[in-house]
Chains A and B, each alone.
Chain A
Amino acid sequence: MRARSAGRSLGAGGRRMADAVLFEFLHTEMVAELWAHDPDPGPGVHREQRHTRVPTATCSASASCPPGCGALCVRKGQNMSLSVLEGMGFRVGQALGERNPAWLPPSSSPWAPQAWPGDPPASAWPKCLPLPPRLSRETLAYREELDILKFLCKDLWMAVFQKQMDSLRTNHQGTYVLQDNSFPLLIRMASGLQYLEEAPKFLAFTCGLLRGTLCTLGVKSLVTASVAALPACKFQVVIQKS
């Protein structure tokens, strides 16, 4: 019995480490793949080549584009890839919002699954994390927006990034600023001002994730992110009143 639970928790721990690394790698590859190519290819590059490297809906690869169009096309391409990334995050956030909070029955009830102490439940979370005790009941827990935002900061961030958000501020009029001082997707890049220009595109997916989770929980919002110094970043959530 003891060996079985030890084996289980070892397996869960191993899965947890691999999940985080796999997700970070997948995310980096997604950004690399979707991000439009170098906006300034240099004076030696032919105008046609500049266009063919950028997939946009409006500008096809032809030499008939006006001279100033190259940079605009690239910017459109970059904006589109940012919104594609954000859209992916949105869809994932919608699914995550449905899975959370887990709706396991209280452990005292007769039909609760028999779990070993300290053993994370396999079914509810994508990365087999131990559930915070408050969520393991069949309850509708959200009284108001602030509760939902607190859920995002604590439980969603714990589920996806294995840490909680560092601070949540609000002006009580529908704007919330979530601050993470060591964002896991930026932490491997730099710690300071290096790569500051490249950092925002690595936040697009996470913005979508926040927006998707909020959407499932019934809150329409607009999420933007900003980086002042890696790896700290801020997510600004503005609730849209319909």
Chain B
Amino acid sequence: MAVCVAVIAKENYPLYIRSVPTENELKFHYMVHTSLDVVDEKISAMGKALVDQRELYLGLLYPTEDYKVYGYVTNSRVKFVMVVDSSNTALRDNEIRSMFRKLHSSYTDVMCNPFYNPGDCIQSRAFDSMVTSMMIQVC
């Protein structure tokens, strides 16, 4: 279960960012912002290595004492960043991958929506409800 989910465009501005309502949501925004550096590093590092093996799922980007940040990048250089609670040790890699896959699938649906202009913020309710289903239920 994620604490914060963000979709970042190719030009590194957020298309969608949503976090669990707490007293200090800004720290999640900051974490997502700093994780973009790590994402860029991973993409360019992979560019030199065996390209065929480059995966879309980037894995754990960096851990902090309370949270872990995971990343995923699509072929169109749109990045998904997910922040999960460190104390939730039951969350396995498989589950994170499947959450990213759901995100990617919903993002593709948003792109195919004729009412959505590529580059705008995502306002689709269907996307919202999919993200709600993977976030921690607070209150």
> Is B77 an interface residue, CB under 8 A from the partner?
yes
Chain A residue at minimum C-beta to C-beta distance from B57: A138
Residues of chain B contacted by A105 (CB below 8 angstroms): 97, 101
B137 interface hit (Cβ, 8 Å): no
Contact A217 B75 (CB under 8 A): yes
When A103-B104, A139-B52, A139-B55 are in contact, do A98 and B94 touch as well, CB less than 8 Å? no
Tell me if B53 and A139 are in contact (CB < 8 A): yes
Which residues of A lie under 8 Å from residue B63 when comparing CB positions? none
Q: How far is the CA of A105 from the CA of B104 in the complex (A)?
A: 13
Closest beta carbon of chain A to B106's beta carbon, Å: 12
Contact mask for chain B residues 1-44; partner A; CB cutoff 8 A; 1 contact, 0 none: 00000000010000000000000000000000000000000000
Q: Considering the chains assembled together, what is the distance between the CA atoms of A111 and B75 in angstroms? A: 21
A142 at the interface (CB under 8 A from B): yes
* B44-83 near A? 1/0 per residue, CB < 8 Å: 0010000111111100000000000000011111000000
Query: Is residue B88 within 8 Å, beta carbon to beta carbon, of the partner chain?
Result: no
Across the interface, which residues of A come within 8 angstroms of B52, CB to CB? 139, 141
A residues near B112, Cβ cutoff 8 Å: 95, 98-99
Q: Is the CB of B77 within 8 A of A218?
A: yes
Residues of chain B whose beta carbon lies under 8 Å from any beta carbon of chain A = 10, 46, 51-57, 73-77, 94, 97-98, 101, 104-105, 107-108, 111-112, 114, 118
Contact sample, A vs B, 15 pairs, CB 8 Å cutoff: A94-B111, A95-B111, A97-B76, A98-B112, A100-B75, A103-B74, A105-B97, A111-B97, A139-B53, A139-B56, A140-B46, A140-B75, A141-B54, A142-B75, A218-B77
